[in-house]
Amino acid sequence: MIFIDSHCHIDGEAFDADRDEVVERARSVGVKAMLNIGTGNPHGDDFRKAVAVAESYENVFASVGVHPHDAKTYDDKAENHLIELVKSSKKIIAWGEIGLDFYYDHSPRDVQIEVFRRQIRTARELNLPIIIHSRDANDETVEILREECSDQNFRGGIMHCFGGSAEMAQDVLEIGFLISFAGNVTFKKADSLRDAARVVPFEKLLIETDCPFLTPVPFRGKRNEPSFVVHTAKFLAEFYGIELEKLANQTADNFVDFFELKID
Ligand SMILES: [Zn+2]
Ligand SMILES: [Zn+2]
């Protein structure tokens, strides 16, 4: 049985002191691969570090893209930096996380929207799948994805840390997205998330930690890490009424197939 953490941030400072142990712990419970999502300032070293971390571990992959929080920092220079990184490393398999976050509003909404569209187009030029972050902006997100991605050449993408309704899940599935659930699906009050989980076909399902955030039950309150993806998998297996092994292997296969990877 293998697990894949489809979205983590192990390049972050939270892991500087014990990154090797964190990766080792993940491996020891069967987490075979991880996708490390680069975030931060595209005018500094943040993305270089994210890629370097992926380069230094087997089956740890990376994505680059400017988070909606940092949309106001996105310009030609930032874009060129990220494109250069993509060209420099085979470990970079996606563009993101990009999208809209109207909960925190760290960047003005009109800037978030403009930068979101621009990055989708850049990713598409590079033929990279996109990783979407959407919080309190679900209608706007779906509308933009419909406009930018509803053609046959769309490479596909992942709705990460899915937080929408069943209806939104259906909408994005139709456009060509996989849906990834994080630890918050295990939270007591997450009934609407579980309604969404019910409509996702198994072959479109992924699991993630989004660590160091969103620690699943029973470790809520602690720092999250990739080995904890097993708890989200256990929760979902029980929710769907299937064996853990089936849930784990199916979500791992979905990831490997989607990114056309070879993982041994
Ligand atoms: Zn996110
Ligand atoms: Zn994230």
Q: What is the pLDDT of residue 202?
A: 97
Report d(CA 78, CA 99) in Å as an integer: 16
Digit-coded pLDDT (tens) for 154-200: 999 999 999 999 999 999 999 999 999 999 999 989 999 999 999 99
CA of 100 to the centre of ligand 1 (A): 9
Residue 71 CB-half CA count within 13 A: 25
Q: Which helix (H) or strand (E) holds 207?
A: strand 205-207
Q: What is the pLDDT of residue 126?
A: 98
Q: What is the pLDDT of residue 235?
A: 97
Q: What is the pLDDT of residue 220?
A: 87
Contact 31, 8 (CB under 8 A): no
The H-assigned helical ranges of the chain are 19-28, 46-55, 76-88, 109-125, 138-149, 166-175, 191-198, 229-240, 244-259
If the chain, 264 residues long, is cut into consecutive pieces of 10 residues, what is the mean pLDDT of each piece?
Answer: 98 98 98 98 98 98 98 98 98 98 98 98 98 98 98 97 97 98 93 95 98 90 95 97 98 98 87
Q: What is the pLDDT of residue 264?
A: 73
Q: What is the pLDDT of residue 246?
A: 98
CA of 17 to the centre of ligand 2 (A): 20
Angle 166-175/138-149 helices, nearest 10 degrees? 10
Of the ligands numbered here, which is closest to the C-alpha atom of 104? 1
Strands 130-135 and 92-101: parallel
Q: Taking the alpha carbons of 242, 248, 184, 148 in that order, is the dihedral positive or negative? A: negative
Q: What is the pLDDT of residue 134?
A: 98
CA of 1 to the centre of ligand 2 (A): 25
Q: What is the pLDDT of residue 217?
A: 86
CA of 14 to the centre of ligand 2 (A): 14
CA of 36 to the centre of ligand 2 (A): 9
Q: What is the pLDDT of residue 230?
A: 97
